[in-house]
Amino acid sequence: PSIVDSIWQQKWIMEQLSVSGLALTLKEKEKGFSVSGYDIKESENKGEPLTLKKIDLFLKQQHRVQINDLRLRIELKESPILDVLVDQADLSTLKKQSWLLAKAQVNAINQQTQLELQLESNGQGFFDAYVKHDQWDWSPWLKGVFPDSLALESMQVSGEHWLRLYGETLQSYTSLVQIQDIALKYTETNKVSKLQNLSAQFNLDKKGVGNSDYIGAIKDLTFSQNKTKWIPSLHEFSYIDEVFEIHSDIIDVGMLSELIAPFDQKGTIAKMRPKGKLINSALSISNKENFAYELVANVDQVFTRPANGTPGFGNLTGKIVMNEHKGHLSVENNDIEIWDAGNF
């Protein structure tokens, strides 16, 4: 123990603490988590939730903690159990700052991945974290994110993630991800939309204090679908005052249509088979009082087949502006082709 610090703070402060072979269970409650295992006893009446703040306070009380062979079971309310084996972890504190370095193996429902974790606390409520993991199917833990009409069947992801939190509120998030495959099923039609080899850089930053406003971007997005590759693109988005906006430099209309076609119950999109590009598009969606949207985009050589009473177009280039009430198309070229269902 650190005698001087222990006397000064009137509690045991360890200069160096070594822990080996510890087994803990982290169980999700209505508010936060409870911990049980070995001599740590849980009480329904007296037990308090585990929070980042309490972890931070514990780190500050120790100069250095070395942990080997820590077995941690994480029991979530609506997701499969995670078993984590921490081979080695090193916690250290200097003045008000704390650091954690750890390497672990995560196991759940017949899959396994290696995990690297770095956590830093500045002593003023901010936490910076870095997480790196090998390929892992996240779909069983993301089921609650989607509405009942959508089912995430698989999402094989590997990547690196950087997070900053203030207390337990996310302030910023950056990730470099590689998704081997992702499959999303529309339950009303049982049709599945699939992507392969998706990669992107994802950024998210909180805007302001005491609200849920965020701004972000998806950079260098690329993926494959049915052996067709998405052109690398940039998408900047924001969610401010209950209004979602996204600005995209380029969108492949054909690939986008294939993605959303399984969700079209009437099959109109599959019949139209659109092709072409949207350049410098902006989409705004508001749900403050009533649903409202606005789309502004430059269209480049768009082609559609006629379907369900809608005529088909070929070589369509210009600008489109539309909302929930009406739409307007300004045409730049004069050699447009138009077909109706009977003459195509």
Q: What is the pLDDT of residue 302?
A: 92
Instruction: Report the run of H or E that residue 194 belongs to, with start and end.
Output: strand 191-206
Which has the closest alpha carbon to 231: 253, 263, 257, 216? Answer: 253
What whole-number distance in Å separates Cα of residue 46 and Cα of residue 80? 27
In degrees and rounded to multiples of 5, residue 311 shows phi and psi of: -70, 160
Q: Which conformational region is residue 197 in: left (phi greater than 0), alpha (psi within -120 to 50 degrees), or beta?
A: left
List Cβ neighbours of 268 (8 Å cut-off, separation of 6 or more). Answer: 307, 308, 310
**Residue 15 pLDDT level (bands cut at 50, 70, 90):** low
pLDDT in tens, 127-161: 899 999 999 999 999 887 887 888 899 999 999 99
What whole-number distance in Å separates Cα of residue 154 and Cα of residue 136? 10
Degrees to nearest 5, angle at CA 125 with 74 and 105: 25
What whole-number distance in Å separates Cα of residue 268 and Cα of residue 311? 12
Amino acid at site 162: W
Report whether pLDDT(50) > 80.
no
Report whether pLDDT(344) > 60.
no
**Residue 41 pLDDT level (bands cut at 50, 70, 90):** very low
Bridge partners of residue 132, in order along the sequence: 116, 160
Q: What is the pLDDT of residue 260?
A: 84
- Dihedral, 58, 59, 64, 70 alpha carbons, nearest 10: 70
**238, 244 contact by CB (below 8 A):** yes
Report whether pLDDT(9) > 70.
no
- Mean pLDDT estimate for the chain: 84
- Dihedral, 274, 275, 276, 279 alpha carbons, nearest 10: 50
Q: What is the pLDDT of residue 30?
A: 77
Q: What is the pLDDT of residue 123?
A: 76
pLDDT in tens, 201-245: 999 999 876 678 899 999 999 999 888 899 999 999 999 988 999
Query: How large is the average pLDDT for residues 78-94?
Result: 89
Q: What is the pLDDT of residue 267?
A: 83
In degrees and rounded to multiples of 5, residue 139 shows phi and psi of: -55, -40
Degrees to nearest 5, angle at CA 160 with 158 and 162: 145
Amino acid at site 306: P
Q: What is the pLDDT of residue 210?
A: 64
Report whether pLDDT(4) > 50.
no
Please state the pTM of the whole predicted model: 0.77
Q: What is the pLDDT of residue 175?
A: 96
Report whether pLDDT(249) > 90.
yes
**Residue 56 pLDDT level (bands cut at 50, 70, 90):** low
Q: What is the pLDDT of residue 112?
A: 94
Tokens of 302: 């768009």
**300, 226 contact by CB (below 8 A):** no
Q: What is the pLDDT of residue 14?
A: 58
**Residue 57 pLDDT level (bands cut at 50, 70, 90):** low
What share of the chain in percent tops pLDDT 90?
44
